[in-house]
Structure 1
Amino acid sequence: MLVDTRWSAWNEEIEVQVTEAAALGPAAGLVGAVLSEAESACSLHRGDAEIHAVNLAQGLPVRVSVRLAGLLRSALWVARMTDGVVSPLAFDEPPSSVPSIHPEPTFADVQIDDATVLAPWGVSFDIGDTAKADTADRAAALVAHELECGVLVRVGGNVATAGHCPAGGWQVPVPGDGAVELPAGTALATAGADRTRASEGVGGGWEQVSVMAGDALWAYAAAASSQRRNLGAVAWLDQQELAARLVDYDGRVYTTCGWSHPHAA
């Protein structure tokens, strides 16, 4: 029997489903603790977040917590997997119309040695979105391990599962397409329209992108990257062998080969 609970945290709706009724309270407590730890590490909306020390360092090495180092590594992994399309770096000033004599720093210039971070001068980190996907994965794995039950954790548009699967699989709603079945240990991420980029003529070819993957971090990375790839996103997702559903601004639906039978993702 599935039981669930929902609440708001980190500017997102949080949902936890478990396969054992007695595990719901402890599961919610574990998920809440993982969320709180990640938010206090990297939320730019919190004045006491650890990430601010890194962003203020401007070319100087900073020792950080193990959790923030892990979240930064996840964000850099996303950047590598998407060829820099989804980058953790935000520049302090808009690019000048006058070419610089120095090359513009990229995510590849960031160094993390153990828990010491060295970022290029002139850039800062904005890793909230990748951190939420990473946290969904981490929280689901922790609940399944500690409570020995099946669990689904949703943080905003990121859904991660772990532990044994309920009969019929995890049924996860996809806006405009009913529900899809997630096998145990898989994930789904849905990215909505980036209307700011669309109005500026930068990417923005999709109203919505939903992607299934082995974990929420990769699912988020693929969905967010597809938002910036326009029509090339469908071919890119197929190359990655990912099940995905994309909706353009006219309501037309495109799917990859794997989405025809998404339960097999």
Structure 2
Amino acid sequence: MLVTTRWSAWNEEIEVQVTEGAALGPAEGLVVTVLTEAESACSLQRGDAEIHAVNLAQGSPVRVSVRLARLLRSALWVARMTDGAVNPLAVEDSPSGVPPIHPEPTFADVQVDEATVLAPWGVSFDIADTARADTADRAAALVASDLECGVMVRIGSVVATAGHPPAGGWQMPVPGDGAVELPAGTAMATVRSDDGDGRDESVGGEWQQVSVIAEDALWAYGAAAAAIQRGVGAVNWLEEQELAARLVDRHGRVYTTDGWSRPYAA
């Protein structure tokens, strides 16, 4: 029996489903705790978030919590896996007409050594999207482990599952395409080019929406966001990564990788 609860947090709708009715209340409590920890660590909308200290350091090392260090490492991992298409850094522009004195810093210049972060001068972090995906993974794993039940955690359009699935599997809606069944322990993310995340639509403007199924929500989100940026080369890149994906272009035409099939999507 599946039971569900929904609420809003971190500018997103949160949904939790569990396979045991008695586990719903405790599961919600665990997810709220994990969400609150992540938001307080890295939300730029919170004046007391830890990440502001990192962004203000400008070339000086900063000690951070274990949680923020993990979220930063996750964001940098996604950047490496996508060759920088999903970039956690915002680089300050030089004054008009003035060439930079030093090469423009990249995510590869950032060091996270245990709980110490060292980023170059002139950069700041915005890791909210990868942090939400990482948090969905962590929350789902924690609920399944602590409560010994199957669980689905959705943060916005990012879904993570853990534990034993319900009869009939995890049926997850795909915007504009009904639902797909997620294999046990997998995740899915859908990214739209008009999500208001500041993307330059002149880059990778081929796709209106990309949905990806992967082993975890962090990689599902990273791959979907990278596909948006990669334009016409996205389908081949997703095939090379052996990911199940569905892409919708700006004319409404649908493309899928070999791994995407119905009723099972992976």
**TM-score when normalising by structure 2:** 0.96
| C-alpha distance in 2 between matches for 1:239 and 1:99 | 38
Is 2:117 the partner of 1:117? yes
Residue 198 of structure 1 and its aligned partner are, at CA, apart by 5.2
Q: RMSD of the alignment, in Å?
A: 1.4
Gaps spanning 5+ residues in structure 1: where? none
Deviations 1:132-178 (A, max 9, x none): 00000000000000000000000011100000011111000001110
Q: 1:56 to 1:262 in 2, by over 3 A?
A: farther
1:151-190 superposed matches below 5 A? 151-190=151-190
Residue 192 of structure 1 and its aligned partner are, at CA, apart by 1.1
CA contact (8 A) 1:197 1:203 kept: no
| Matching residue's letter, 2:58 | Q
| C-alpha distance in 2 between matches for 1:210 and 1:232 | 16
| Matching residue's letter, 1:233 | A
Describe the SS at the equivalent of 2:231. Answer: coil
| Matching residue's letter, 1:215 | D
Deviations 1:63-93 (A, max 9, x none): 0000000000000000000001101101233
- Tell me the residue number matched to 1:245: 246
Gaps spanning 5+ residues in structure 2: where? none
CA contact (8 A) 2:94 2:100 kept: no
| C-alpha distance in 1 between matches for 2:193 and 2:226 | 12
**TM-score when normalising by structure 1:** 0.96
CA contact (8 A) 2:204 2:232 kept: no
Residue 204 of structure 1 and its aligned partner are, at CA, apart by 2.4
Q: 1:210 to 1:129 in 2, by over 3 A?
A: same
* Percentage of matched positions with identical amino acids: 78
CA contact (8 A) 1:243 1:262 kept: no
1:58-73 superposed matches below 5 A? 58-73=58-73
1:27-46 superposed matches below 5 A? 27-46=27-46
| C-alpha distance in 2 between matches for 1:171 and 1:90 | 37
1:3-82 superposed matches below 5 A? 3-82=3-82
Q: 1:92 to 1:166 in 2, by over 3 A?
A: same
Q: 1:3 to 1:94 in 2, by over 3 A?
A: farther
Q: 1:96 to 1:144 in 2, by over 3 A?
A: farther
Residue 184 of structure 1 and its aligned partner are, at CA, apart by 1.2
- Tell me the residue number matched to 1:216: 217
CA contact (8 A) 1:143 1:151 kept: yes
Residue 262 of structure 1 and its aligned partner are, at CA, apart by 6.8
Aligned length: 264
CA contact (8 A) 1:198 1:205 kept: no
Is 2:208 the partner of 1:207? yes
CA contact (8 A) 1:20 1:149 kept: yes
| C-alpha distance in 2 between matches for 1:165 and 1:95 | 55
Larger deviation: 88-97 or 203-212? 88-97
| C-alpha distance in 2 between matches for 1:29 and 1:95 | 48
Q: 1:60 to 1:30 in 2, by over 3 A?
A: same
